[in-house]
Chain A
Amino acid sequence: MEQQYILECNNLSKLYGQKPALIDVNLKLCLGRIVGLLGPNGSGKTTLIKLANGLLTPTSGEILIDGMKPGVETKKIVSFLPDCDFLAGWMTIERAIEYSRDFFSDFRTDAAREMVARLGLDLNQKIRTLSKGNREKVSLILAMSREAKLYLLDEPIAGVDPATREYILETILANYVENSTVVISTHLIADVETILNDVLFIRNGRIDLYRSAEEIRETEHMSVDALFREVYKW
């Protein structure tokens, strides 16, 4: 029997008009990994994540989630954290939690409330009144409160201070469910590299490298960050 991958891309390409965003991507991700999708701005990270969520459709080739084309069934097993602010400002935190619970049967309401409380935030506070860092934390809490098979976190640590970054990475680790896969897209490699199993280097719409982070340290005697800089010397 053929092995089932949680995320599989076969000759996947995406063009915006004439402009290619992803070119002939072939990729197979297994369950039980924390994967860094690492690339500079405009390299295709967000396009790949949007394709996996069915927010975009491939120009050619295919993308499969747990063997299925992105759609209603895959949304049940994929937890997606977009790179933009998606929470409605008029909602209270509690309302946002209930909203997620209504949408997703795998949502852990108590876990979400507990994480918000531990942050020292009031559940009745309106999203609109939160600082940028706290909004990002609440968004992440909502994403990590699901018991999904695949978490797609688009730039979860961009634009927040180092303490918030640390909080976010800790929250990912603390909620990481064994046998799920987490994909973290970022250009801040040094900040995430210790929590990754594998790294994917992407640039100009192509995946140039897919390797284990420990193997890079062991065989290249280099940090992932240093290898990235070497591969992508301008």
Chain B
Amino acid sequence: MNNWKFDPEKPLFRQICDRLCDEIARGVFPPGSKVPSVRELAVIAGVNPNTVQRALSELEDEGILVSRRGDGRYVADNGTLRDNMLLERSRTATLEFVRAMRDLGLDDPMIRESLEKALSAPSETKGVDAASGTTVYS
């Protein structure tokens, strides 16, 4: 049941925010959809309810979630929200990739070449992506 993994050396509320943003970006929670309650998330993630509360309030302050009185929290019904999140997340992932490659001592043409190779290979990475896009809460 508990498929959430945390880095115990970093504040958990940030990691919960990141995870939820990931799931919004991947379409697990589309714009306008309801997100699980504090109690549900606490049990799913195995985390203190106050910590979950803090994460959800944070996302509310950022305009990513909206709370409806007496009816829980929803993903903001904002057409560009998901695109923006995808953009931001992919930019971060790309920068991390480039940094890792440069750390290995590769120059730009080598990075490009290796990226081209990876893209044209019939890799499993696509399958992994599709699979992780279907996080199910049960």
Contacts and interface: CB of A to CB of B under 8 A. Distances in A.
Interface in A99-143: none
Interface of B: 1-2, 6, 8-13, 39, 42-43, 45-51, 54
Chain A interface mostly helix, strand, loop or mixed?
A: helix
Contacts of B39: 173-174
Contacts of B47: 194-195
Interface of A: 32, 34, 166, 169-170, 173-174, 176, 178, 190, 193-197, 213-214, 217-218, 221-226
Contacts of B42: 173, 176, 195
Nearest to B45: A194
B11 A218 contact: yes
A221 B9 contact: yes
Contact of B8 (A173, A176, A217, A218): A217
Given A170-B43, A173-B43, A174-B43, A197 B50 contact: yes
A27 B54 CA distance: 26
A179 B50 CA distance: 11
A166 B10 contact: no
Contacts of A214: 11-13, 51, 54
14 contacts: A173-B49, A174-B39, A176-B42, A176-B49, A190-B8, A194-B45, A194-B47, A195-B47, A197-B51, A214-B51, A217-B9, A217-B11, A221-B10, A222-B9
